[in-house]
Amino acid sequence: MGRIAGVTAAETRERLLRAAADVFAERGYDGTRVADIAATAGVSNGALYAHFGSKAELLVAALRTHGRQLLAAVLAADPDRSITELLLAIGRWLPRRRDARGYLIVEALVAARRDEDVARPMRDYVGERADWVADLVRAGQTGGELDSALSPNALAHFCLLLAMGSALIPPDLHSVGDEEWTALLTRVVTALAPTDITAQRGATQ
CATH number for position 2: 1.10.10.60
Q: Residue 151: which region, alpha, beta or left (left: phi > 0; alpha: psi -120 to 50)? A: beta
Phi, psi of 118 (to 5 degrees): -85, -40
pTM of the entire structure? 0.82
Co-location of 34 and 67 in the same domain? no
Determine the pLDDT at residue 155.
96
Alpha carbons 48 and 197: distance in angstroms, whole number = 54
Co-location of 27 and 62 in the same domain? no
Co-location of 101 and 174 in the same domain? yes
User: Which 8-state DSSP code applies to residue 42?
Assistant: T
The domain total for the chain is 2
Determine the pLDDT at residue 6.
62
- What is the per-residue DSSP string for 98-111? --GGGGHHHHHHHH
CATH of the domain at 82: 1.10.357.10
Residue 180: Cβ within 10 Å count: 10
Co-location of 78 and 142 in the same domain? yes
Co-location of 19 and 118 in the same domain? no
What is the extent of the structural domain holding 14?
1-53
Share of the chain above pLDDT 90, in %: 67
* pLDDT digits 0-9 by tens, 170-187: 899 999 999 999 999 999
**Could you give the dihedral angle defined by the CA atoms of residues 101, 105, 111 and 113, in that order, rounded to the nearest 10 degrees?**
-170
Co-location of 49 and 65 in the same domain? no
Share of the chain above pLDDT 70, in %: 92
Instruction: Give yes or no for residue 98 having a pLDDT over 60.
Output: yes
Residues whose CB falls within 8 Å of the CB of residue 152, separated by 6 or more in sequence, listed in order: 133, 134, 135, 137, 138, 141
Co-location of 45 and 79 in the same domain? no
